[in-house]
Amino acid sequence: MSNGLEKPSAFRYMAAAGTGSDDLQHRYVPLYDRTSVFLSGELPLSILFKGELMGEWERNG
């Protein structure tokens, strides 16, 4: 996360992006895999909002 060389692992379509303007090009938001920073303890899981947890943590957490 801190090396600045990270690339998106997926993109999410945001239908409301660009609302109120003629910008129809920026409707996809990049998503990054942050699993390693939580496993290493660099960031606590408590900073995540409901719906941001995925996989095992979402089912068991």
Q: Convert the pLDDT of each residue in 5-49 to its tens digit.
A: 778 888 888 877 767 777 767 678 888 887 888 889 898 888 887
38 contacts 32 by C-beta, under 8 angstroms: no
Cα(44)–Cα(61) distance, integer angstroms: 13
If one compares 45 and 1, the residue with the highest pLDDT of the two is 45
**CA quadruple 46, 29, 9, 48: dihedral, nearest 10:** 0
Can you give the pLDDT at residue 1? 53
pTM here? 0.48
